Amino acid sequence: MSNSLKIRTGLVLCCIVLALVSLGPTFFGSNLPDWWRKAFDPIHLGLDLQGGMHLVLGVEVDKAVESRLDTIVDQTEVLLREKDVIFKRVDRSPGERIVVTVYDEDAARQVDAMMAEEFPSLESMTLTSEGGYIQKNYRLSDNEIEAVREYAVRQALETLRNRVDQFGVSEPTLQRQANNRILIQLPGVKDPQRAIALLGKTARLEFKMVMEDANPQDAVAGNLPPGGQLLYERNVDPRTGAVTEIPLVVEDKTSLTGDLLSDAQVRIGNRFNDAYVSIEFNAVGAKRFDQITAANVGTRMAIVLDDTVYSAPVIRERISGGSAQISGSFTEQEATDLAIILRAGSLPAPVEILENRTVGPSLGQDSINQGIFSVLIGGLLVIVAMFIYYKVSGLVADFVLVLNLVFIMAILSIFGATLTLPGIAGIVLTVGMAVDANVLIFERIREEVRLGRTARAALEAGFEKAKLTIIDANVTTLIAALVLFQFGSGPVKGFAVTLSVGIVCSLFTAVIVSRLIFDLYLSRGKVDRLSI
Amino acid sequence: MQIIKHDINIDFVGKRKLALILSGVLILIGMASLIVNGGPKYGIDFVGGTLVQVKFTESTDPAKIKDSLASLDLGSVVVQSFGDDPKEFLIRVQVTDKDKNLSGKISGNLNMVYGEGSVDIRRMEMVGPQVGKDLRQKGILSIVYAMIGILIYISWRFELRFAIGAILALVHDMLITLGAFSITGREIDLPIIAAFLAIIGYSLNDTIIVYDRIRENYGKHKKKGFATVVNRSINETLSRTILTSGTTLLVVLALFIFGGGVIHNFAFAMLVGILIGTYSSIFVASPVLILWDDYRASKKKKVAAEGSS
C-alpha cells in the first residue's frame, strides 16, 4: 500500500468514527455513558417536528415614547407648582412635543429656564401665542427618542425572558430582530394559549383611587368628571363562568405603580378557598403605600392591570407593612400567571403579535415519521437503481450514499444545527443528487474503458475529468442554498442547512471516499476489468 | 446495464424550433392561468392571515365546519380537506390574531358543535400583514440574489454567453413551475421559495454538466461547427442526465407520495421543477448558445460583405 493511500484511508476512517460517535446520543440517548452524552448533543429538532411555538412580537416603541412624554408632563406640573409658577396647563401633543401654556412673558421665561435645567433632553421650539395665552413648545430630541425606543426593546426582551424562564419551557429561544421585533421560540409548549396570555400582556399594574362622588352611569353616558377616568371591573362568576363588567370612575392620576413591587406570590384564601396574589412592595413602594392608605382611609382603591380593574377594596386602615393582596375572580392558574408576570415586571410598551406558528406534538411526530419514511423509500429506490445500472461499482456508490447520510446527520449534531421538515426534504433531495457525482464519474470511466484503457488508467482519467465538472455543478447549487440563509430562522433555513451540508458531504464522499475504495481495490493486485 | 447506447446521436439541436414552440406554449398556458386568476395565489406567509389545521375524531365536511364557525364573525373563511384524510382540515381566515386567542375561539366553537375532545388543533399559523410583506420581499430578493450569484460564477468559470443561456433556462423553469402552481390552484408560501431555489440549483447543475462537455469538445472538434459540437455534447452526457434525473425524481416522488400534507406542495414544485429543469438544459440552455453563435456569425458576415463591396 502506498503512503498516500495509507493517509487517505486513515483520514476517511477517522471521519467515519467521529461521525458515528457524534451520532450516539441522537440514536441511543440515555443508554450511553455521561461523558459521551456531554460531548455531543443529540440533533436538535425544529419546532415543526417536535411541536412548539414560534412567535414574533413587535414592540410598540412609539407607545414607550408617548409614556415617556406623559411622565415628563406629570413631572413638569409638579415642578411648576413647587416653584409657584402660574400656568394654565401642560399637554402632550403630536410630534413628540410638550406644550406648556402660561399667561404672561414672565412666566414663559421662568418655564424656559426650568425646562432647560430639569429636562436637557427637550429642545425648545418656536413660541406660539394663542388668544392671550403663551404656548411654549418643547420637543424630545431625536437622540432621546432613539434612546427611549432602544431601551423599550431591550427592556421588553429582558422582561419577556424573565416571564419565559418562570413559565418553565426547556430550551427557549429569545432573540432581538430588526424593526423592534422579538423572536421567541418555545419548544414543546403544552398550552399555547396560556403562553400567549403570559407573553402578550403588558402587565402595567397601577393603583388608583376611586372617585366615590362620581356617578359611573353618567360616565358611561359620556359625562366624565374632570381628572377622572372610566374603567371596568371584571368579575367572573366561578360557577357559570359568566363575565360581568362593572363601570367604575377612578382618578386619572396613578397613585402607585407596579414598578415598586419586590415580590408577588399566589396564596389560597382559607375562607372560600379562592386564589389571590399577595404582593410585597420595596422600601420606596412601602413608604408611598403607607402614605396613600393613611390619607385615604374609607375610600376604595382600584387595583388596575392593563386598564382593567381587578378589584377595588375599601381602605379600612393605614397599611404600613408594605404588603397587599390582589383578589379578584380568578382561577388558581390565572392567579399563578398573574404572580409570574408581576414578578417578571411590566413591559415598557405594549407588544403586538406579528407572527405566530404553533405546531402540536401529534403533527410533529407524524411529520417525523413521514419524513423518515420518505427518506428510506427514496434512498432504497436509488440504491437499487444504482446497483442494477452499475453493478459492483453501483454498490460503491450506494455505500458512499449511506455514508453521506451519516455525515450529514453528524455535522448537524456537531454544529448544533436544527433539523426541520423542509430540512428532511433537503436530505431527500441530497440523496437524489448525491449519486450524481458518482454517476458522472462512472460514465466517464465507462467512456475511457470504451477507448480501450486499462482498468487503472480508466479510473484515473474518469475521476480526474469528472472532478472539475462536479465542483462547478455543485458550487452553483451551493450559491442557491446559501442565499436561503438570509431567512434567518424557521423552516426555510432548515432546508438551506441540510442542502448545503449535503452538497459538501456528497463532494467529499464521491470525490474522496469512492476514489479511495477503488484505489484500495486496485492496490490488491492486477485487475483487468471493472464491474461498472 | 445501459439505457442509452454510448454511440447514440439524436439530433436535439435540429429540434430546437419544436422545443421553442413547446416551451412557448407551456409558458403561455401558465401565464394565461396567472392572468385569469389575478396573479399567483399567495399563502398566508406572504399576504398575512391565519391558518388552523384541525383533526377530528370522526369524518366531517367543510360546510359543517364553516357553519360552526359562523358565530365568530371571522370574515371570509375557507375550509379545505387536508391530504386524503376525511377527518383533517385546513381552516383559513383573513383576519390576523389581533385579540390573541383566535385558535382558542375556533377550538371552542368546534368543541361545542362536535362535542368536547373530538377535535385536535394540530397547527396554527398566524402571520401579520407587515411580516407577510417582509417575507414576500425577502423571497423575491433571494431568488434575484441567487440568479446574480450564479451569473457571476458561470461568467467567471465559462463565458458570459453560457451564463446568459443558463439564466434564460432558469427563468423558463421558474415561469413554467409558477404556471403549474397556478393551474393546479396551489398556494405559494415560504417553503415554496425554498423549492424554487432548489430547482434553480438543480436545473443549473444539469445545465453546467452539458456546458462543461461543450467547452471540452469545442477545443477538440472546433472544425465541425458549433451546432454539431453542442449536439454531440448533449448526446454524450445524455446517459448521465437521464440517470441522475431519474434517481432525483424517484426520491422526490417518494416525498410527494409519503411525505405528508405539510410538505406536499413543496414536493410538487420539486417534481415539476426537476422535469422541466432537465428538459431545459437540453432544449433551452444549449440552443441559446447556438443562437448567440449564429447571431455573431451573421453579424461578422455582414461586416465582411460590406467591407468587400
Q: What is the CATH number of the domain that holds B289?
A: 1.20.1640.10
Question: Among A6-20, A230-244, A437-451, which is the least confidently predicted range?
Answer: A230-244
Chain B positions in Cβ-Cβ contact with residue A479 (cut-off 8 Å):
146, 149-150, 153, 201
The pLDDT tens digits of the residues spanning A8-65 come to 999 999 999 999 988 888 888 777 888 887 778 888 888 888 889 999 999 999 988 9
What is residue A337's predicted lDDT score, i.e. its pLDDT? Answer: 85
Distance CA B76, CA B35 (A): 23
Chain B positions in Cβ-Cβ contact with residue A425 (cut-off 8 Å):
191, 255, 259, 263, 266-267, 270
The verdict on B156 and B236 lying in the same domain is yes
In order, the DSSP letters of A45-92 are EPHHHH-EEEEEEEE-HHHHHHHHHHHHHHHHHHHHHHTT--EEEEEE
What is the mean pLDDT of the segment spanning B190-215?
A: 88
CA nearest to B268, candidates B176, B169, B175, B186: B186
**Among positive and negative, which fits the CA dihedral A421, A360, B82, B127?**
negative
Q: Is residue B6 part of a domain?
A: no
Q: In 3-state terms, what secondary structure has residue A35? A: helix
**Contacts from B232-238 at CB under 8 Å and sequence distance 24+?**
B232/B9, B233/B286, B234/B10, B234/B12, B234/B13, B234/B210, B234/B282, B234/B286, B235/B8, B235/B9, B235/B10, B235/B12, B236/A447, B237/A443, B237/B209, B237/B210, B237/B213, B238/B4, B238/B8, B238/B10
Q: What are phi and psi of B52, to 5 degrees?
A: -125, 125
* A425: contact with B, CB 8 A cutoff: yes
The yes-or-no verdict on residue A195 having pLDDT over 90 is no
CA nearest to B287, candidates B233, B223, B224, B219: B233
What is the mean pLDDT of the segment spanning A114-126?
A: 84
Q: Are A49 and A420 in contact (CB under 8 A)?
A: yes
What is the mean pLDDT of the segment spanning B256-268?
A: 88
Question: Among A306-315, A502-511, B93-102, B162-171, which is the least confidently predicted range?
Answer: B93-102
Q: Which residues of A118-130 are buried (b: 16+ CB within 10 A; e: fewer)?
A: ebeebbeeeeeee
The verdict on B215 and B253 lying in the same domain is yes
Distance CA A498, CA A503 (A): 8
Picking from A196, A356, A450, the nearest residue to B6 by CB comes out as A450
Q: Which residues of A426-441 are buried (b: 16+ CB within 10 A; e: fewer)?
A: bbbbbbbbbbbbbbbb
What is residue B29's predicted lDDT score, i.e. its pLDDT? Answer: 95
The verdict on B114 and B248 lying in the same domain is no
- Interface contact A422-B191, CB threshold 8 A: yes
The verdict on B253 and B290 lying in the same domain is yes
User: Scanning every residue of chain A, which has its alpha carbon at the shortest distance from the alpha carbon of B215?
Assistant: A469
Q: Which of B97, B127, B157 is the last residue of a domain?
A: B127
CA A455 to chain centre: 58
Beta bridge partners of A324: A279
Distance CA A370, CA A428 (A): 12
What is residue B308's predicted lDDT score, i.e. its pLDDT? Answer: 61
Residue A220 carries which DSSP code? Answer: H
Beta bridge partners of A352: A58
Q: Are A325 and A31 in contact (CB under 8 A)?
A: no
Which residue do the cell numbers 390582589 mark?
A326
Q: In 3-state terms, what secondary structure has residue A98? A: strand
Picking from B130, B201, B209, the nearest residue to A480 by CB comes out as B201
Q: Are A185 and A53 in contact (CB under 8 A)?
A: yes
Chain B positions in Cβ-Cβ contact with residue A469 (cut-off 8 Å):
208-209, 212-213
More confident residue, A249 or B70: A249
The pLDDT tens digits of the residues spanning A362-390 come to 888 888 898 889 889 988 999 999 999 99
The verdict on B117 and B136 lying in the same domain is no
Which residue do the cell numbers 401529534 mark?
A362
The verdict on B203 and B91 lying in the same domain is no
CATH code of the domain in which B66 resides: 3.30.70.3400
CA nearest to A211, candidates A154, A264, A255, A242: A255
User: Any idea how long chain A is?
Assistant: 532
- Interface contact B205-A474, CB threshold 8 A: yes
Give the CB-side neighbour count of residue A275, counting CA atoms within 13 A. 14
Residue A319 carries which DSSP code? Answer: -
* Alpha carbon distances (Å) from B145 to A149, A192, A484, B132, B207: 32, 37, 10, 20, 19
Read off the C-alpha cell for A94. 403630536
Read off the C-alpha cell for A380. 432504497
Q: Are B198 and B214 in contact (CB under 8 A)?
A: no
Chain A positions in Cβ-Cβ contact with residue B205 (cut-off 8 Å):
433, 436, 473-474, 476-477
Distance CA A190, CA A187 (A): 9
Give the CB-side neighbour count of residue A39, counting CA atoms within 13 A. 13
* A496: contact with B, CB 8 A cutoff: yes
Picking from A355, A435, A476, the nearest residue to B247 by CB comes out as A435
User: Scanning every residue of chain A, which has its alpha carbon at the shortest distance from the alpha carbon of B213?
Assistant: A469
Distance CA A208, CA A315 (A): 12
The verdict on B145 and B250 lying in the same domain is yes
Query: What share of chain A in percent tops pLDDT 90?
Result: 20
Helix (H) or strand (E) holding A266: strand A261-268
Q: Is residue B77 part of a domain?
A: yes
Q: Which domains does chain A have, with CATH numbers?
A: 3-51+360-523 (1.20.1640.10), 62-144 (3.30.70), 201-358 (3.30.1360.200)
User: Scanning every residue of chain B, which has its alpha carbon at the shortest distance from the alpha carbon of A487?
Assistant: B138
Residue A324 carries which DSSP code? Answer: E
Q: Which residue intervals of A119-184 are DSSP H helices?
A: 142-167
Picking from A357, A440, A472, the nearest residue to B240 by CB comes out as A440
Helix (H) or strand (E) holding A356: strand A351-359
The pLDDT tens digits of the residues spanning A145-162 come to 999 999 999 999 999 998
Q: In 3-state terms, what secondary structure has residue A300? A: strand
* A30: contact with B, CB 8 A cutoff: no
Q: How many domains does chain B have?
A: 2
In order, the DSSP letters of chain B are --SS-TT----TGGGHHHHHHHHHHHHHHHHHHHHHTTS--B-HHHH-EEEEEEEESS---HHHHHHHHGGG--SSEEEEE-TT-TTEEEEEESS--TTS-HHHHHHHHHHHHH-TTSEEEEEEEEE-HHHHHHHHHHHHHHHHHHHHHHHHHHHHHS-HHHHHHHHHHHHHHHHHHHHHHHHTT--B-HHHHHHHHHHHHHHHHHHHHHHHHHHHHHHH-GGG-HHHHHHHHHHHHHHHHHHHHHHHHHHHHHHHHHS-GGGHHHHHHHHHHHHHHHHHIIIIIHHHHHHHHHHHHHHHHHHHHHHH-
The verdict on B140 and B34 lying in the same domain is yes
The yes-or-no verdict on residue B1 having pLDDT over 80 is no
What is residue B168's predicted lDDT score, i.e. its pLDDT? Answer: 92
Best B248, B256, B274 residue to mutate vs chain A (most A CBs within 10 Å): B248
Q: Is residue B3 part of a domain?
A: no
The yes-or-no verdict on residue A339 having pLDDT over 70 is yes
* A447: contact with B, CB 8 A cutoff: yes
Residue A224 carries which DSSP code? Answer: P
Read off the C-alpha cell for B130. 407587515
Q: Are A378 and B251 in contact (CB under 8 A)?
A: yes
The pLDDT tens digits of the residues spanning A452-465 come to 888 888 988 999 98
Residue type, position B213, single letter? R
Q: Is residue B252 part of a domain?
A: yes
Residue type, position A236, single letter? V
Q: Is residue B102 part of a domain?
A: yes
* Alpha carbon distances (Å) from A189 to A7, A52, A171, B17: 49, 5, 11, 59
pLDDT confidence band for A404 (50 / 70 / 90) = very high
What is residue B181's predicted lDDT score, i.e. its pLDDT? Answer: 94
What is residue A147's predicted lDDT score, i.e. its pLDDT? Answer: 92
Q: Which of B105, B127, B149 is the last residue of a domain?
A: B127
What is residue B98's predicted lDDT score, i.e. its pLDDT? Answer: 59
Q: Are A527 and A392 in contact (CB under 8 A)?
A: no
* A32: contact with B, CB 8 A cutoff: no
Q: Is residue B166 part of a domain?
A: yes
- Interface contact B259-A483, CB threshold 8 A: no
The verdict on B172 and B304 lying in the same domain is yes
What is the mean pLDDT of the segment spanning B42-54?
A: 89
The verdict on B191 and B71 lying in the same domain is no
**Mean pLDDT over the full length of chain A:** 86
* A422: contact with B, CB 8 A cutoff: yes
Least Cα separation, residue A149 to chain B (angstroms)? 19
More confident residue, A524 or A299: A299
User: Any idea how long chain B is?
Assistant: 309
Chain A positions in Cβ-Cβ contact with residue B120 (cut-off 8 Å):
360, 362
The crossing angle, in degrees rounded to 10, of helices B226-258 and B264-280 is 170
The verdict on B34 and B179 lying in the same domain is yes
More confident residue, B210 or A38: B210
Q: Are A232 and A306 in contact (CB under 8 A)?
A: no
What is residue B273's predicted lDDT score, i.e. its pLDDT? Answer: 93
Least Cα separation, residue B191 to chain A (angstroms)? 6
Q: Which residues of A7-21 are buried (b: 16+ CB within 10 A; e: fewer)?
A: ebeeebeebeeebee
> Residue B61 is part of which domain span?
49-127
What is residue A241's predicted lDDT score, i.e. its pLDDT? Answer: 65
- Compute chain B's Rg from CA coordinates: 25
The yes-or-no verdict on residue A523 having pLDDT over 90 is no
What is the mean pLDDT of the segment spanning A80-90?
A: 86
Q: Is residue B8 part of a domain?
A: no
| Strand-pair category, A228-236 with A308-311 | parallel
* Alpha carbon distances (Å) from A494 to A47, A317, A326, A411, B59: 11, 62, 46, 13, 34
Neighbours of A35 (CB within 10 A): 7
Q: Which of B107, B127, B147 is the last residue of a domain?
A: B127
- Interface contact B212-A469, CB threshold 8 A: yes
- Interface contact A484-B249, CB threshold 8 A: no
The verdict on B137 and B219 lying in the same domain is yes
User: Scanning every residue of chain B, which has its alpha carbon at the shortest distance from the alpha carbon of A503?
Assistant: B201
Please give the ipTM for the structure prediction: 0.85
CA nearest to B236, candidates B252, B266, B259, B215: B215
Residues 108-167 of A with CB under 8 A from B: none
